[in-house]
Amino acid sequence: GLFVDDAKSGASFMGLPRPSILAAAMSPYLWVNPHGVRFVDEGLGNGPYLASAVSRQKNRTSFTIMDSNAKRHLQENGLELNTYMDVMPTKLGDLDNDIQAALAEGNISAQMGESIEELAAKIKINPATLQQTIDAYNACCDKGHDDLFAKNPRFLRPVSTPPFYAFQCSAIGYGTIGGIKINERAEAVDKDCDSIPGLYAAGDCAAGTLTYDYPLVYILWGCTLGFAVNSGRIAGESSAAYIKSLSK
């Protein structure tokens, strides 16, 4: 499929976060899981590493926590790490407007609070746990060393100046895991890889999971379409030939 979004008009497709919010969510600052606990070196870079870590959390979800200073840094100085669709040092000039729009829509991709307790309530995380995580993280920021994951010090930005923000990030995938196995004629095959007469499969139902280039960094938009179109063509030709063979 294709991701459709018009940042200029504010239109979005199927409630997906606006681009600047996606970029903020992927920033290498403080990531916590739904329990309010830090779980990964956020500066590893985008791709399978972070997605794998997020996919192991409750609801396959994490929250990127930052304060107003970190947000302002993204707006004025730009990204410090390549994200889904932007490359450094892209400045997130639309971030404030996109946050307000998300809040007005009730879109869960962005939340804001004047205190950590208020922010925790909005993202349904235990406030005491979140505060404890932030205190430990801020201590690492103050001394310039990440005691938990040894993250690159340049990404250690404290969470100390209100208002505070949370950007939701979820691990996703396109295609199927263990889809219908087919041969070169798009015929479905059994466990012994023998074709099943008259049964064909195409598109995502017959594809494996797409990883790095599609669901994680959005470099190749719509890359499932090539396989869908051609496997559908092959399945159509093969099924037509099979039907003709039955009339002989």
Which pLDDT score, from 0 to 100, does residue 170 have?
85
Higher pLDDT, residue 79 or 6: 79
Q: Is 138 exposed, middle or buried (0-12, 13-18, 19+ CB in 10 A)?
A: middle
pLDDT level of residue 174 (50, 70, 90 thresholds): low
DSSP secondary structure letters along 86-107? --TT---TTHHHHHHHHHHHT-
Which pLDDT score, from 0 to 100, does residue 6 have?
41
pLDDT greater than 80 at residue 234: yes
Pair of tokens at residue 73: 């840094």
pLDDT greater than 90 at residue 50: no
pLDDT level of residue 2 (50, 70, 90 thresholds): very low
User: d(Cα 218, Cα 58) in Å, to the nearest integer?
Assistant: 24
Is domain 5-170 classified as CATH 3.90.700.10? yes
Domain boundaries, the chain: 5-170, 187-246
Which pLDDT score, from 0 to 100, does residue 85 have?
53
pLDDT level of residue 15 (50, 70, 90 thresholds): very low
Asked whether the bond before 89 is cis by omega within 30 degrees of 0, the reply is yes
Residue 100 · residue 106 · CB < 8 Å? no
User: d(Cα 148, Cα 39) in Å, to the nearest integer?
Assistant: 9
Mean pLDDT of the chain: 84
Q: Select, from the ranges 4-13, 119-128, 177-186, 206-215, the one with the highest average predicted confidence (pLDDT).
A: 119-128
In sign, the C-alpha dihedral spanning 135, 141, 142, 147 is positive
- Mean local confidence (pLDDT), 76-82: 87
pLDDT level of residue 13 (50, 70, 90 thresholds): very low
